[in-house]
Each structure stands twice: as structure tokens, then as C-alpha cells.
Amino acid sequence: MTQALPTRKNSGISPFRSTPLTAMGSHTIKVIRRDGSPTSLNIGKIRAVVDWACEGKEVNPIALEAGLTTRLRDGITTREIQDNLINCALEMCSPEEPDWRYVAGRLHIWSLWKDTLVARGYQYGEYERAVKTKVESGQYDERILTYSPEELKEAGSWINSDWDTDYDYAGAVLLTSRYLLRDELPQEALLTCSLLLASVEKPENRLYWARKFYEAIARRKISLATPILANLRVPNGSLTSCFILSIDDSLESIFGELTNAARISKNGGGVGVNVSRIRATGSWVMGKANASGGVIPWIKLLNDTAIAVNQGGRRAGAVTVGVDVWHLDVPEFLEMQTENGDQRRKAYDIFPQLVITDEFMRRVVSKSDWTLVDPYEIREKLGIELAELWGEEFDRAYKLVEENLDKRIVLYKRVNARELFKTIMRSQVETGMPYLAFKDTINRANPNQHDGYIPGVNLCTESFSNVTPNQTAHCCNLVSLNLANLDLDEIEVNSRIAVRILDNTIDITFPPFENAKAHNDRYRTIGVGCMGLADWLAKHQLSYENLTEIGHLFEEIGYWCTYASMDLAKDRGAYEAFPGSEWSRGKLIGAKPVEWFLENAREKERWVTLAEDIQRYGIRNSHITAIAPNTSSSLVQGCTASVLPVYSRFFYDKWAKGTVPIAPPFINEAFWYYPENKNLDQKKVVKAIATMQEWIDTGISMELLFNLNEGVYYPEQPNRALTAKDIFDTLILAWESGCKAIYYIRTVQKDNFKESDDACSSCAN
């Protein structure tokens, strides 16, 4: 069945309106169709498409017609006409008329429909045929043929082509350019993903769950992470978004994990690599003092691996390298991306993260000294592996280390903790990094404390679990609930669908190396996230200061995702490492006791029942929720990214083909309920994230955005600008409030802003 030409409907516009296209004398213009054949310009067809694209939107189609008249010429192609209509719509898009971005999106989709029709001879309506063709050409995984022709025909009947018309221009372009295969339509891609995700279900239930998955995904209530949406249909595609490796202090481990990082990059994943076990600069090698080059040469190898193994030519690999804050090489680590110094010890293409303990933060607050040490010397002389310790156990070991300075420990450096933190802040203001991972907070909330520890965070700081060098590598699959399209009473069903999708994903993915598979088998880590919180708040006329309402929303998400994993365990069994875990001991999200939920939850008793059910039946996934930044995915979903405020209510983003208008979905009806992050006190953001974190068992990607211009945060003091002390207080608040990590630090620079050596001097006050 081909897509019918849209017919003109009564749009409420006067039939006596001006018709600028008619005045052109269209009979004199020849048009070249997409198949290369000529025809006379049919103004009626153009107007029908214009009216269809504008229907239901707060725009005037006459304006689009008028804009097109200046661009028509003899010999123009139908594709050029379509592109001109799109450009006209984009040019008219503004904060006053933001709906033109949807008109441009529909026109882009219309062009895709026509191109597909010309390329293969049909559009929607022949799904079984499309599947067969793509399997034969090697585009589709043969596992889709698990379904019979009759089942594929039934599944094809679920397709609703109208769902293609819900995208704005940014979303339509990203969907078609990044995610669709050659000669593939959007609903075919989403349906095929859904069928493959349901292929591990019992045969009698496969179509039931496939339809549930498809309708949630196609109606943009659940967003699949990029690796799932891009790779699931492709033979041998890796579906995992996040990985973490930990390197031991040996050549075998170093080069083994370098190879694993390359495999991850090849498949398009992002990877975190912790190098805290590797001996420091000046340490011993083969019994020789001052022979080690420290962690920087190995980080440089990771850097070059990320460049060389460039995700199949799509983009450079993405690697974040973590170092614990007590490591002797931390000062050089912080200088690793500056222009000065030995260029052979620079790594400009990795993303640095510092793994920070509570003891360090306490000393920052008290302005006490901090000791940087060599992990090899501590291991050899005191028998302590500092990298694997956290909490009170780390505090005791670190005290023992400091008691042995100059006695048994000779490789160390004493610094002021506040001064070191100021250096970290200065780097963040200049470059946005390092990321900060609060190790003790992360590991206190770890449900698998009986089975190891969490060394650091992933590339986007939201996903992490136990990692053992040379044995297991953290890996996690992600989806997100689109809060812009969900009401509170829809959270239950969509949370349960999201958890089921991700648990199925574990069973159909192809881990890129053995340690990742071992982790999948042992922990079955997943990450149900959220996007569109700013839209949900705006729709309900709330702000980021409504912490009670935010808490209630995320309690629902946390409860139903946890419940769904428990419910799956009844049928499929608990994850392998469940016995002895915090879950098995009756603790819940964040390894918190039931008493916490009785005190803080809105619906208290259901948490007691859930804890009892988990002890009885187990839980399918060790980690269940994690909120990623999902910047690109949110454009496809037509909502704001992640759980952060919008940077600006309306702006143009620079893309390769020009500028693209970006605006939140409810800008027409809720303009003033979208606070702009570039002008928002970041302490409000931190408090909101901390509230959400209580109900999210893994992490949240939290960017902080500081505006350095005068009078932004203090309108009553027009000459006052944000100080380093203000930024310092915000970062301390994040740690004290229980945030697990800080992603990028963004700044809006003053025109005359100059960074100097004393830029953070006020931190000492």
C-alpha cells in the first residue's frame, strides 16, 4: 500500500484567501519527478502537502505558500520543491511561531516516504516483504525470521504511519540520518526492534509483548538508547551503551584492557577505565627505583586507541579515564590536557574523571592536608590495595598510610586539600572536566557490596557496578521514559515495559568481549532512565523547587521499576550474585533499609511488601535505574534532554546543513514554566537531582551550568557576578546532598573574563 496524497481538509481558513501559487502561471513550469520523468507543475498537489503539513499547528499555510513562490523555476525537481518548503518553514520558525519546526519535520518525513517509494516501489503496508528483502540483503538480523510470515503480516498491521508525523525537524532529521537503514521507514525500524526484543519471550506471548513494546516506543513514551535503536536490527550488533574497565598493575592487564577498550569502541560504546592500581611516576619497576613513567603513558595509549578505533568511521571513540584522588600522579593528571609541558605526556581526547572519597572532601571543607601516594609502594610495603577500599575501611587504611610516611612510605606528596580542589575547579571552569565521582556515596548504595566494589563511573557518569580487573567489566543497556508524553498514571505500565525490554536485551545482545559477558551473566545490570522532566514540570505548572512533587514522581518510577524486576524474577529467576546482596537482606533502592522508606515514601506499606517479595522471589537485575544525558535521543523523542532544565526556551543549533530551531514541546502553552538553565541558580538543580537520586539506584548525569556574567543570579546587585566561592559551595552541596557524580561543568563566559592563577582564591575564605 502506498502513502496516499494528503487531501485538503477544512482547516478553518477562509476559502477566499489569497492564492499566490495560482498567480504564477504554473502551466509554464516543468517539474522533474524523483524518478527522473518530467511533468507539469501541479499547484494543487503542493497546496495539499502544505495544508497537510500545517494541519493542527498554530501556523498559517498561506505564509509557507508565499515563501515558496520566489523559489520556483522551470526544470525544478520535486525534491528541490520539498527542500524549499522545508527551508521556508525553518526560516519562519521563531519563539512566537515555534510550530513551524513541526511543519518542517512533516515535510522531511514526506520526502522520506516519496524517496522510499521510488527506491523500492512501495511504502507502508507490505512489512513482511520489507523484512524478507532486508534479511536477504544482509541488512536485517536473521533472528527476525523467528516469526512466521503470518506473524510478520499481523505485526505489520499494527503500523500507524501517522506516528511518523509527530517529529519536529530536528527529530525527523536525526531519526532518518542516524538510525534508519537504507530504504527503511521509521515505523518499520521501530516495529522490527520491538519484534526482536520480544523474540526471547515464550512463543505464545511473543506477539503480545512485541505489540506492547512497539506501541510504547512508536508513541514515544519509551526511548531506546542509541546502540539498541541503531544496532538491534543489524546482524551481530552490540546493544550495550555503557562499559567500565579496571586495569591491574601489570603489562598483561594493561594491554588486555586496551584491547577490550578497542573492541568497545569498534561497536560504538562509551567506556570508563579506572587506572588507580597502576604504579605512579618514579615508582619501582623490576626492583629499580624511579623507573616507572606512571599512569600518563598508559592513558595516552587509551587516548590514541580511542582515535584509532573510531566506531566504524562514525566518530572518535569515547573513553573516560578515572584516577583515585589519593594517587601520586593526580597533579599531572589534572595538567594532562593543558598546552604547556611535555607534549609526549598529554592526552587531549580522553575525558578525565577523579574518583573522590569522603575523607578527601572532609579535608577540603576543613582546609586540611592531603597525602598523595604510590599504590605500588602501599601494596608492597603495607599489603594494602587502596584502590579497592571505600568508606570506613578506606579511612582506616589511609590513616595507617599517613602514620607510616617517612618510616616505610617514601614516595608521597603532601598538599592542601582545599588547594587541590581549587586546581580541580579551575580545570572544570576552563575545560568542563574532570568529572567527579563520589566513591563512598556510590559504594554505600551498591547492592553488591558482598561481591566487590565500584571503582568509578562510566562515560556519562550515570551507570556503574562492580568491576574486577581481568574478570568482569561493567556493561549496561539503557532506555528512558519520556516524561513529556507520560502522565502519572502511565508510569506503572511503561516502567514495567521498560524493565522487560532491557532484561530481554541482555539475552539478545552480543557482548564485545568475554569479561562483559561474564558481567552480564552475573549482575544483569540495566538502566531505565528519564527524559523530559522539564516538560513534565512545565505541563503541571511546577518548577525545580517543587521537591515534594519531584520526589513523588521519582518514587513512582523507582517503585515500579524495582517491582517489575522482582516480578520478572518470579518467572526467570534472580541475577546470579543475588544471594548475600543488599537486596537479599531486605534493603531496597540505594541499599537503604525499609525503615527509610517508611519515613520518606508517600505510599509506605507497598515498600515493605516489595522488600518481602524480593527476599522471597529475588530480583532479576542488580541495578535497575540510571538517568543518562540522552541529548540526541531527546531530539528524536521531541522532549527536553534528561532531567535538567532547558538551556534556553528557544535557540538555533548549528548543524552541518545549517541552523536548526530547537524548542521544548509545550513552549506555546507553558512558556514561562520553562526556567532557562543558563540563568538558574545551580543549587536548585543540585537539590532537585539529590531528591531524584533517593529513588534512582544507580546514578544521574548531572551537568552544572554557571553563568559568569554580572547580575544574572543577583538582580538586586547588578554589578555582582558569580564567584569561585559560589561554585565551590555548589560542588560541596552536591557531595553533602548525596549526589553520586558531577558530569560536565559548563560556563557562560563573561566578555571580559580572564582566568588567572588566583581565579579560585576566594575558595579559601
Give me the active site residues, please: 458, 460, 462
Helix axes 375-382, 391-403, angle to 10 degrees: 80
Measured at the alpha carbon of residue 508, what is the angle toward residues 232 and 501, in degrees to the nearest 5? 75
Instruction: Find where cell 567500565 sits.
Output: 244
Neighbours of 654 (CB within 10 A): 8
Measured at the alpha carbon of residue 75, what is the angle toward residues 69 and 78, in degrees to the nearest 5? 70
| Rounded CA separation 371/643 (Å) | 37
CB 161 within 8 A of CB 109: no
Report CA dihedral (621, 626, 632, 634) to the nearest 10 degrees.
Answer: 100
| Cα end-to-end distance, the chain, whole Å | 72
| Rounded CA separation 439/437 (Å) | 6
Q: Please name which of 90, 86, 226 lies closest in space to residue 637, comparing C-alpha atoms.
A: 226
CB 377 within 8 A of CB 411: yes
Helix axes 251-266, 296-308, angle to 10 degrees: 30
Instruction: Find where cell 540563568 sits.
Output: 679
Strand, helix or coil for residue 749: coil
Cell for 509? 545482545
Examine residue 38 and say whether the peptide bond preceding it is cis (omega within 30 degrees of 0). no
Measured at the alpha carbon of residue 750, what is the angle toward residues 745 and 756, in degrees to the nearest 5? 75
DSSP track, 654-704: EETTEEEEE--TTTTT-GGGS-BGGGS-HHHHHHHHHHHHTT-SS-B---E
Residue count of the chain: 765
Helix axes 43-54, 78-92, angle to 10 degrees: 40
| Rounded CA separation 498/503 (Å) | 9
Report the relative pairing of strands 242-246 and 474-482 from DSSP bridges: antiparallel
CB 664 within 8 A of CB 538: yes
| Rounded CA separation 516/497 (Å) | 25
Cell for 393? 575501611
Helices (H) and strands (E) in the chain, counts: 27, 18
Distances (CA, A) of 624 to 108, 485, 557: 37, 21, 11
Name residues whose C-beta falls within 8 Å of residue 165's C-beta, 6 or more positions apart in sequence: 105, 106, 109
- Amino acid type, 691: T
Examine residue 593 and say whether the peptide bond preceding it is cis (omega within 30 degrees of 0). no
Cell for 611? 522488600
Q: For residue 244, give the H/E element and its range.
A: strand 242-246
Q: Please name which of 356, 256, 243, 341 lies closest in space to residue 298, comparing C-alpha atoms.
A: 256
Strand, helix or coil for residue 627: strand
CB 684 within 8 A of CB 544: yes
Residue 361 CA neighbour count, 13 Å, CB half: 22
Distances (CA, A) of 679 to 19, 367, 575: 45, 31, 45
Helix axes 186-197, 149-156, angle to 10 degrees: 130
Report the relative pairing of strands 318-324 and 351-356 from DSSP bridges: parallel
